[in-house]
């Protein structure tokens, strides 16, 4: 079985970044996402990355850098060599390989008081009654 070495950016915003290296055997044809998901099950469940559709390439959530180039983790194939994985550079970092990719108007506003948002924007509920 061929072996890939994944060198992965670890850490969150404001933490000193570090790298972890994982050696992982793979079946030819498997994707980076296949390996990351297996790493979570077998080695480190705290590893953070984004994905939803597993490998259909429909959700477009799994973008990251492979050796400095933007790829979909679910379509980039594993190779028997060192592969460097990093979060998208132009997006705010969440943790490890996960970044903030939702459009700004589809995020929960940062900070905010305990009762914010819709209460300000819309009709007060009492007003409807």
Partner 1 sequence: MNMTTKSAADARHLEADVLVIGAGGAGMYAAIEAARRGAGRVLLLDRSLIGRGGATVMAQMTVAAAVGPDDHWEHHLADTLAAGRGLSDPKLAALLCEVGADCILEMDAWKVGWARSGDGFAAVQAPGHDRPRCVYVDFLSTGPAVSRALRAQVQRVGPAIRRIGEVAVTDLVVQDGAVTGAAALHVATGEALTIGAAATIVATGGLTRLYARNSASLNMSGDGYALALRAGAVLQDMEFVQFFPIGHLAPRLIGMDPIMWDPFRYKLGGRLLNGAMEDFLGRWGGDAENGRYSTTRDLATYAITKEAEAGRGSPSGGAWLSFTHVPEAELRGAFGPVIDRLAANGIDLTRDAVEVSPIAHYHMGGVRVDTAMRTNVPGLLAAGEAVGGANGANRLSGNAITEALAYGRIAGAEAARIAASGETPAFSPAAASEAVARLVASSRPMNTAGMVARLQRLMSRDVGPFRTAAGLARASQALGALRAEVGEAPPGAPGVAHDLARLDWFDLRQMIPVAEAVVQAATARTESRGAHQREDFPETDEAWRLNQLLELRGETTTLSRLPVAA
Q: Does 61 bind partner 1 (CB under 8 A)?
A: yes
| Secondary structure class of 43 (helix, strand, coil) | coil
Site for ligand FES in 99-118 (CB under 6 A): none
Least distance from C-beta 14 to ligand FES, angstroms? Answer: 27
Q: How far is CA 89 from the centre of its chain?
A: 12
Q: Looking at 3, 21, 52, 70, which residue binds ligand FES (CB under 6 A)?
A: 52
Cα(73)–Cα(33) distance, rounded to whole angstroms? 5
**In the chain, what is the straight-line distance between the N-terminal and C-terminal CA atoms, in Å?**
67
Least distance from C-beta 22 to ligand FES, angstroms? Answer: 19
Return phi, psi of residue 9, to 5°.
-65, 130
Cα(22)–Cα(6) distance, rounded to whole angstroms? 5
Categorise residue 125: left if φ over 0, alpha if ψ from -120 to 50, beta otherwise.
Answer: alpha
Q: Does 59 bind ligand FES (CB under 6 A)?
A: yes
Q: Does 53 bind ligand FES (CB under 6 A)?
A: yes
Q: Which residues contact partner 1 (rule: CB under 8 A)? A: 12-13, 27-31, 34, 40-42, 45-61, 72, 74-75, 77, 94-96, 98, 100-102, 105-108, 112, 114-119, 121-123, 125, 128-129
Q: Which residues contact ligand FES (rule: CB under 6 A)? A: 33, 51-54, 57-62, 72, 74
């Amino acid at each position: 079985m061929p072996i890939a070495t994944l060198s992965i950016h670890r850490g969150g915003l404001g933490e000193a970044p570090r790298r972890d290296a994982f050696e992982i055997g793979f079946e030819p044809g498997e994707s980076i996402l296949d390996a990351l998901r297996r790493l979570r099950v077998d080695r480190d469940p705290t590893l953070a990355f984004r994905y939803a559709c597993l490998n259909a390439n429909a959700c477009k959530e799994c973008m990251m850098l492979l050796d400095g180039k933007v790829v979909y983790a679910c379509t980039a194939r594993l190779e028997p060599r060192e592969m460097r994985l990093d979060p998208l550079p132009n997006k705010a970092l969440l943790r490890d390989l996960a970044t903030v990719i939702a459009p700004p108007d589809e995020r929960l506003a940062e900070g905010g008081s305990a009762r914010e948002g819709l209460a300000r924007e819309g009709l007060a509920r009492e007003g409807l009654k």
